[in-house]
Structure 1
């Protein structure tokens, strides 16, 4: 299992990749339900962060599969 700082590093790197290589996808990151907590003081534990990382990976894989990158 990864430690929290490793998960946060992976999230940061993936977001940077999306921002740099797929700017058309970057605009949708704010709409991810994980980024909009329903609680006043949400608990962002390792499982929550790993779920967010998995969501980001899925979003990117879906985008790559369904959209060709303009060159």
Structure 2
């Protein structure tokens, strides 16, 4: 299920995990831009949210790999 609401929940959970377990990484999240389109389409919203979630996952994965944290 990838509804915008579900994606937002996943983003929230991942952001909270980063904030609590990787505070050194959390400060860089403000540099992760999320620009919402001016046209309001469900498909676009889902795509943007999905892309943002993927970028957060990649950021965390890279950080864990390069800093040897589990």
Instruction: Name the TM-score class by shorter chain.
Output: 0.7 to 0.9
Secondary structure of 1:45's counterpart equals: helix
What do you get for the CA RMSD once the two structures are aligned? Answer: 2.1
Correspondence for 2:56 = 56
Structure 1: give runs of 5+ residues left out of the alignment: none
Distance across 1 between alignment mates of 2:24 and 2:51 = 23
Deviation at 1:13, TM superposition (A): 0.0
Deviation at 1:42, TM superposition (A): 7.3
Structure 2: give runs of 5+ residues left out of the alignment: none
Structure 2 length-normalised TM: 0.81
Structure 1 length-normalised TM: 0.80
Q: CA-to-partner distance for each residue in 1:46-67, whole Å, 9 max, x for gaps?
A: 1000000000000000000001
Q: Which runs of 4+ in 1 moved over 6 A?
A: none
